[in-house]
Amino acid sequence: MTVFKTFLKILNKNKFIIILYTLFLIFFGGFNMQTSEHNTNFVASKPDIMIVNYDEEKGITKDLIKYIEENSNVVDLKNNEDAINDALFYRDVNYVVYIPKNYNKDFMDGKNPEIEIKSTGDYQSSFAEMLLSRYIKVANIYQKSINSEEELISKINETLSKKSEVEITSKLDTNILSKATFYYNFANYSIMACLIYVICLILASFKDIKIQKRTIISSTNYKTLNRKILLSNSLFSIILWMIYVVLSFILVGDIMFSIHGIFYLINSFVFTICATTIALFIGNIVSNKNTISGIVNVIALGSSFLCGAFVPMEWLPDGVIKIAHILPSYYYISNNEVLKTLELINLNTIKPILLNIIIVLSFSIMFIILTNIVSKRKQKIG
Partner 1 sequence: MKNVIEVKNLIKEYKEIKAVDNLSFEVHEGEILGLLGPNGSGKTTTINCLLSLLNYSSGSIKIFGKEMKPDSYDIKSKIGVVFQEVAVFDELTVYENVDYFCGLYIDNKETRKKYIEDAINLVGLESFKNFYPKKLSGGLLRRLNIACGIAHKPKLIFLDEPTVAVDPQSRNNILDGIKKLRDNGATIVYTTHYMEEVEILCDRVIILDKGKILATGTTDELKELAKIEEKISIEINDLDINYIDKIKELKNVDYVKYSSNILVVTYKKGKNNLVEIMEYLKKNNIKYNKIYSERPTLNDVFLELTGKELRD
> Which stretches of the chain bind partner 1, using CB under 8 A?
1-2, 6, 9-10, 13, 205, 208, 210-211, 213-221, 225, 380-382
Q: How far is CA 229 from CA 136, 202, 223, 377, in A?
A: 78, 9, 10, 18
Nearer to partner 1, 111 or 214 (CB): 214
Nearer to partner 1, 78 or 210 (CB): 210
Least separation, in Å, of the C-beta of 201 and partner 1?
9
Rounded-to-integer distance, Cα 268 and Cα 257, Å: 15
Least separation, in Å, of the C-beta of 171 and partner 1?
52
Query: Which residues neighbour 325 within 8 Å (Cβ) at sequence distance 6 or greater?
Result: none
Phi/psi at 124 (nearest 5 deg)? -70, -40
Closest CA to 329 of 180, 179, 188: 188
Q: Which runs of E-coded beta strand occur in 15-109?
A: 48-53, 73-74, 95-99
3-state DSSP assignment of residue 114: coil
Least separation, in Å, of the C-beta of 377 and partner 1?
15
Query: Which residues neighbour 294 within 8 Å (Cβ) at sequence distance 6 or greater?
Result: none
Q: Which DSSP helix (H) or strand (E) runs through 361?
A: helix 351-379
Nearer to partner 1, 11 or 299 (CB): 11
Least separation, in Å, of the C-beta of 287 and partner 1?
14
Nearer to partner 1, 145 or 221 (CB): 221
Query: Which residues neighbour 127 within 8 Å (Cβ) at sequence distance 6 or greater?
Result: 47
Least separation, in Å, of the C-beta of 300 and partner 1?
23
Least separation, in Å, of the C-beta of 349 and partner 1?
48
Nearer to partner 1, 191 or 194 (CB): 194
Nearer to partner 1, 19 or 211 (CB): 211
